Amino acid sequence: MDHGDWAYFEGQIVSIQEAKISVMTHAFNYGTAVFEGIRGYWNEDHENLYIFRLQEHIDRMLRNSNILMVRPKLSLTEIQDIIIELTAKNGFREDTYIRPVCYKSEHELGPRLHDVASDLVIYEIRLGDYVNISGLKVAVSSWRRLRDNAIPARCKATGAYVNSALAATEAKMEGFDEAVFLGEDGTVSEGSAENLFLVQNGVLITPPVTADILTGITRNTIIELARNELGLDVVERPVGRTELYVSDEMFFCGTGAQVAPVVEVDRRPIGTGKLGDVTITLQKLYFDVVQGKIEKYRHWCTPVYDR
């Protein structure tokens, strides 16, 4: 993996080789950590790297950290400043992925959350497309999405991603690109690590935040862009499995996935089986926004260099 030379670990920026945890670390043994995935996009014309919606990502991490009682002893602004400093020190001049992790750092036995010290680590890698953004073939998983009252998907807890790994592995071993989760009630939830949208008769439809999904920042971005820039109706409501098969278009979205069209579900073509017009338009608009090309949305893009 093409990582940066520097990481934030135990209160300071250190060489990536120094950013090591013990095998006894609580988070390693019990999955007691909350993380964020944040992208930085290189704009060649501006000669700058733009971190997309940095404040929103850190705010979400701090809110989610409260669920696991793993909140770090740093403010939102302090964490933002550390990320900007770290990214500049790594000197990235290409698209970048930033991973801050709030974790239970003590060497303690017992899967509890209270009275266990926490810490923050941040590392960065160079990252292009995480999934195929030109047309995915997916399958509905036999694994169900974790319920909010079991292990909340909204939390981005590291341990919860065993659920995602099971679904994604099943799909890929069966020859598909990705998986779609159903919730315990049988309605559509999301992908293994992506939110999901459908287009039906010109209306954009997505499962609600109560469908055991991650409340995605990219999801919120797509909703805003679809409404304000394309004039689309956007409806958040429960989605039945068979609605996937009869929709005109479908796509995943997320920090990793970006905007990734889906052309086939369970070996059934979606619409024409090719990329749809709404998806193509939203994908292009999204990339223009995250690369800082649209002044109206530049406030979402934090520059790393020449601030």
Shortest CA distance to 180 belongs to which of 271, 112, 93, 242?
Answer: 242
CB 272 within 8 A of CB 34: no
Total residues belonging to the chain = 307
Between 217-228 and 277-290, two packed helices, what is the crossing angle to 10 degrees?
110
| Cα four-point dihedral sign 273, 279, 283, 285 | positive
Q: What is the distance of C-alpha 61 from the center of its chain? A: 12
Supply the residues annotated as catalytic.
Answer: 156
Question: Are 26 and 110 contacting, i.e. CB atoms less than 8 angstroms apart?
Answer: no
Q: Return the closest-CA partner of residue 149 out of 101, 190, 185.
A: 185
Q: How many CB atoms lie within 10 A of CB 259?
A: 24
Longest C-alpha distance within the chain, in Å?
A: 55
State the sign of the Cα–Cα–Cα–Cα dihedral 253, 38, 95, 293. Answer: positive
